[in-house]
Amino acid sequence: MKPAESRRLALEKSADELASAIEALSEEKDPPFEIAGADHGEMLTNVLLAQRIRERIDRGEDAKDAFRAVMGEVRAVVSND
């Protein structure tokens, strides 16, 4: 997972573009645009996080706040407390 890549994608791509990439990667096809990642799995993780950030931005949340909120949710899951 590359948080900076997820942020870049959320800021540069529309919700529809992200959905297209998710569909392609889910079928183990190459995405329609450049996504950083070692393999399709890492690319899919990056674009799924970008989609969550983009959804918050589209609802009117500030991009920085949306990124922090989504990454906070990820940290809570990963820390597994």
Q: How many domains does the chain have?
A: 1
Give the three-class secondary structure for 69: helix
User: Is the pTM here over 0.75, yes or no?
Assistant: yes
Instruction: State how far the Cα of 36 lies from the Cα of 80, in Å rounded to an integer.
Output: 26
CA angle 72, 67, 39 (to 5 degrees): 90
- pLDDT tens for residues 28-64? 999 999 999 999 999 999 999 999 999 999 999 999 9
Whether the predicted pLDDT of 69 surpasses 70 = yes
User: Residue 80 — pLDDT band, cuts 50, 70, 90?
Assistant: low
Range of the domain at 73: 3-79
